Amino acid sequence: MSLERRDTKKAFMASGRAERIGALPDDLLHHVLSFLPAHEVVRTCLLARRWRHLWKSAAALRITGVKGCKNAAWFVNFVDNLLFLRNPRVCLESFELDLDECDLDFEAFLPANEVHVNTWFRHAVMCGPRKLLALRTTTGIYSDPEEHETLGFPNVPLISPYLTRLELTMVYVHSSTLDFSGCPSLVHLTMDDCDIVGNISSRFLKHLRIFSSFFQTDPVRAHICVPGLVSLEVMGELRRAPVLESMPMLVSAVVRLELDCHDSCSKFDYGYCDDRQCYGCYGSGAHDWRGESVLLKGLSEVAELEFSVDSQVFIVNRDLKLCPTFSKLKTLLLSEWCPDIASDLNILSCFLKHSPILEKLTLQLSKVPKKPAEVQRSYTPPEQPFALSHLMSVDIKFDEVDGKVLNILRTHGVPLEKVNIQRTKLLDLNVS
């Protein structure tokens, strides 16, 4: 035992805390240990005789790289022994594997040890974790997302009858793994900065969050088939946006598509420009459109929706031609909205026309003005106002509000007494 560890143990014993903590029941001690990283949990074996094997029965494993440790061989050996020596009779409630580029050199570690990492993950799945199964690889804050190393999953199904939550960060996931039919208890799925190669499907999933991930399915568009979904978040760089299939149980959704989305064209409303340099039209198979709705049909039964798309994302214009009825929509937030962009006006018009029980509408102007397309979209106002009998309030959150916004609402039959203008500059002053 090193001098430093011996001194730490003596100080701990002398303080009397060892006796007080040692008197606690095993279940409570295991609960306390579940909040510590695995390498710190193992160190508790030095505290007292009772603690010698306590770590082997921990119900939660949080494996992280040790700060400042660049020794990949030591880390691999540590995790191998941690899993091998763990008491197999104790159910594993949660398993988290966090690999941080600040601790390990990914460029050298991942290619050489990808098999090890996948073996750890599969071993954890066999232990039947219930609450959480997480695999995260994190790059430095200034890393280029196009150049970072991504951990590749083997293309095999994930089978776990007990798992309820799965979180993946910077993982390359293939089609077989994305079929979660072998996980009947899985209700929460989060994919952050992942490469998604295939369709996501599950009859059991309730909550899905996809953030800054790439759908690597060109030229075929990926599908999200999760009929039991209750909440959905799709945000960030998606390359080609996935087709959202029917979700009749959907309560809340957040959908944000930015200019980085490959379904973008600055020259034509529907993505059929003649410029072969336009990747959105030629590089991603935009001409192979068979009249299917990509986003709006799948969102047609949502009750609460936050929706934001860049003005050059043409798949929304296609969807508007097929605009369904949002029969359950009560709360709508159009964020990053701009009254000077015709496509944004068309989106607003579509929702107002096809949301018969809409109660609350919020328009939040982009803080950074949107750049119009090279060829301006056309906007045609309704021929006559139509009744929105259930609409209770319209909140406009703008830095400055001119008559154009109010005229648009009046044209759509919205009584101005229901409009509440919240100037964001004033709100910022009040907060400070």
Distances (CA, A) of 160 to 12, 126, 130, 184: 41, 7, 9, 8
Give yes or no for residue 9 having a pLDDT over 70: no
Cα dihedral 138, 141, 143, 145, rounded to 10, equals 70
Share of the chain above pLDDT 70, in %: 72
Give yes or no for residue 127 having a pLDDT over 50: yes
Most confident of 143-152, 188-197, 387-396, 417-426: 188-197
What is residue 384's predicted lDDT score, i.e. its pLDDT? 53
Give yes or no for residue 249 having a pLDDT over 60: yes
Question: Which pLDDT band, with edges at 50, 70 and 90, does 316 fall under?
Answer: confident
Question: Which pLDDT band, with edges at 50, 70 and 90, does 107 fall under?
Answer: low
Q: DSSP letter string over 97-145?
A: EEEETTTS-HHHHHHHHHHHHHHHHHHHHHT--SSEEEEEEE--TT--T
Question: Which pLDDT band, with edges at 50, 70 and 90, does 229 fall under?
Answer: very high
Question: Which pLDDT band, with edges at 50, 70 and 90, does 6 fall under?
Answer: low
Beta bridge partners of 313: 264
Helix, strand, coil percent content, the chain, rounded in steps of 5: 30, 20, 50
Strands of 212-263, DSSP E: 214-215, 223-225, 231-235, 243-244, 252-257
Average pLDDT over residues 123-143: 71
Beta bridge partners of 94: 60, 132
Average pLDDT over residues 242-247: 94
Q: DSSP letter string over 151-173?
A: EEPPSS----SS--EEEEESEEE
Give yes or no for residue 428 having a pLDDT over 60: no
**How does pLDDT run across 358-398, given as a tens digit for each residue?**
999 998 876 555 555 444 455 565 655 556 778 898 898 87
**How does pLDDT run across 339-364, given as a tens digit for each residue?**
666 677 778 888 888 898 999 999 88
What is residue 409's predicted lDDT score, i.e. its pLDDT? 81
What is residue 243's predicted lDDT score, i.e. its pLDDT? 92
What is the residue-averaged pLDDT of the chain? 79
What is residue 142's predicted lDDT score, i.e. its pLDDT? 34
What is residue 302's predicted lDDT score, i.e. its pLDDT? 97
Higher-pLDDT residue of 380 and 250 is 250
| Phi and psi angles of residue 299, each rounded to the nearest 5 degrees, phi first | -95, 5
What is residue 375's predicted lDDT score, i.e. its pLDDT? 45
**How does pLDDT run across 254-305, given as a tens digit for each residue?**
999 887 777 877 766 666 676 666 666 665 555 455 677 899 999 999 999 9
Share of the chain above pLDDT 90, in %: 23
What is residue 223's predicted lDDT score, i.e. its pLDDT? 94
Question: Which pLDDT band, with edges at 50, 70 and 90, does 326 fall under?
Answer: very high
Picking from 366, 360, 356, the residue whose alpha carbon sits closest to that of residue 327 is 356
Is residue 334 within 8 Å of residue 363, measured between CB atoms?
yes
What is residue 396's predicted lDDT score, i.e. its pLDDT? 85
Q: Which of 61-75, 137-151, 245-259, 405-419 has the lowest mean pLDDT?
A: 137-151
Distances (CA, A) of 1 to 6, 43, 46, 47, 215: 6, 12, 9, 12, 51
Q: DSSP letter string over 258-320?
A: -TTSSSB-SS-TTS--S-TT-IIIIITTTT---S--SSTTTTTT-SEEEEEE-TTBHHHHHHH
Average pLDDT over residues 243-251: 96
- H/E run at residue 208: strand 207-211
Report the largest interatomic distance among the alpha carbons of the chain, rounded to a whole angstrom: 85
End-to-end CA distance of the chain: 54
Most confident of 29-38, 115-124, 248-257, 305-314: 248-257
